[in-house]
């Protein structure tokens, strides 16, 4: 472990000083773009103003023989659209660290787009050693190319070993911005008997005891991901970084997508991935606190201006702890309102 003083030291001579606090950014949806497809890339200028983050995906879903085109497409995209002016984050998901591609990808990204990329998403992170490696590599490249702002890191939790080590991953570097659940790879790593990208499964349920009169027994589908989510959210919150839900592959089931996103939002997640344009609006609605809840939270803050004591609002007891929950809700809404005029109006800020 690094010493407390060493933790925030730049890892290379000439590298920018690490972030002490995460930059305050709204990241309700991380919209995945396959950058090797010119047709899709051509739409990014139109889609960008409707999302919080555009992610150029270089890893899974990009064919092996298109990895070079995807990297070139990412650099082109970073030049074609002024993401900073739009207030939209630019992220890149690189290939995993044991692949033949990641080294050239990181070197090229930092050299050609180092000052335009906000976050690099690292798949299949197994432990803090993966973060130490990429942290040092980035610092050396940032120093070499005169990058002025450290690129942040986002880990995908998609192996059993990664889940086991998530606390150490979340705290491995000041570059750590967040962690996403990668349910498809995680399912394979755990030998789960599923063929889905996230969401529930009709076979995973609890069933009530048999009835003496032979009536059918009620059963309810359960959440396959609850344990992993809870572990990931606690690890991220403890280290002051953000947890995210990852992908929902059933593009044709917006209702289940919304429910999965909502579960993540309620558990503390900041956002989710959108794989298809139709998932953008779902994520935006779900990860923006409900205006009625925000209005109620503001009443709690107003009833207890110094955050202490006890109050009754509409029959519900409020105290220091509900005041803190209300503050989380109102702070989140204020941050969204500062970026999104539609929500500023809905919240009345």
Q: Interface residues with ligand LIB3CWND (CB under 6 A)? A: 32-34, 40, 43, 47, 57, 60-61, 156, 158, 182-185, 197, 246-247, 251, 275-277
Cα angle 109, 50, 176 (rounded to 5 degrees) comes to 40
| Nearer residue to ligand LIB3CWND within complex by CB, 32 or 83 | 32
Q: Is residue 126 at the binding interface for Mg ion, with CB under 5 A as the rule? A: no
93 belongs to an annotated ligand binding site: yes
- 175-204: which residues touch Mg ion (CB under 5 A)? 182, 185
| Nearer residue to Mg ion within complex by CB, 184 or 241 | 184
Q: Which one of ligand LIB3CWND, Mg ion, none is in contact with 247 (Cβ closer than 5 to 8 A by kind)?
A: ligand LIB3CWND
| Nearer residue to Mg ion within complex by CB, 105 or 340 | 105
* Contact characters 130-159, Mg ion, x per CB under 5 A: ----------------------------x-
Q: Which one of Mg ion, ligand LIB3CWND, none is in contact with 256 (Cβ closer than 5 to 8 A by kind)?
A: none
Distance of closest approach, residue 241 Cβ to Mg ion, in angstroms: 20
Q: Which one of ligand LIB3CWND, Mg ion, none is in contact with 40 (Cβ closer than 5 to 8 A by kind)?
A: ligand LIB3CWND
Distance of closest approach, residue 340 Cβ to ligand LIB3CWND, in angstroms: 20
Annotated binding site for Mg(2+): 158, 185
Annotated binding site for substrate: 93, 158
Annotated binding site: 93, 158, 185
């Amino acid at each position: 472990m690094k010493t407390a003083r060493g933790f925030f030291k730049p890892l290379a001579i000439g590298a920018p000083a690490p972030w002490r606090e995460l930059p305050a950014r709204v990241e309700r949806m991380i919209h995945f773009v396959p950058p090797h497809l010119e047709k899709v890339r051509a739409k990014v200028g139109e889609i960008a103003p409707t999302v919080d983050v555009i992610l150029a995906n270089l890893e899974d879903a990009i064919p092996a023989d298109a990895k070079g085109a995807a990297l070139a497409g990412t650099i082109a995209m970073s030049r074609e659209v002024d993401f900073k002016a739009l207030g939209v984050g630019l992220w890149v998901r690189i290939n995993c660290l044991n692949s033949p591609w990641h080294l050239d990808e990181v070197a090229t990204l930092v050299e050609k787009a180092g000052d335009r990329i906000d976050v690099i998403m690292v798949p299949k992170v197994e432990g803090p050693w993966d973060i130490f490696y990429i942290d040092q590599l980035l610092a050396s490249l940032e120093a070499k190319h005169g990058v002025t702002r450290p690129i942040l890191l986002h880990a995908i939790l998609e192996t059993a070993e990664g889940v086991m080590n998530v606390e150490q991953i979340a705290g491995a570097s000041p570059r750590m911005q967040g962690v996403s659940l990668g349910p498809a790879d995680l399912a394979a790593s755990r030998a789960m008997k599923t063929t889905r990208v996230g969401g529930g499964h009709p076979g995973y349920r609890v069933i009530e005891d048999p009835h003496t009169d032979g009536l059918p027994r009620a059963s309810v589908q359960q959440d396959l991901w609850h344990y992993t989510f809870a572990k990931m959210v606690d690890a991220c919150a403890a280290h002051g970084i953000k947890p995210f839900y990852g992908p929902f592959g059933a593009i044709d089931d917006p209702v289940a997508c919304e429910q999965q996103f909502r579960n993540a939002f309620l558990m503390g997640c900041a956002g989710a991935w959108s794989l298809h344009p139709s998932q953008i609006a779902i994520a935006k609605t779900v990860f923006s606190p409900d205006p009625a809840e925000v209005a109620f939270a503001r009443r709690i803050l107003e009833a207890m201006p110094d955050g202490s004591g006890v109050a009754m609002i509409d029959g519900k007891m409020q105290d220091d702890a509900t005041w803190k929950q209300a503050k989380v809700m109102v702070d989140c809404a204020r941050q969204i309102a500062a970026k999104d005029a539609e929500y500023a109006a809905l919240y009345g800020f």
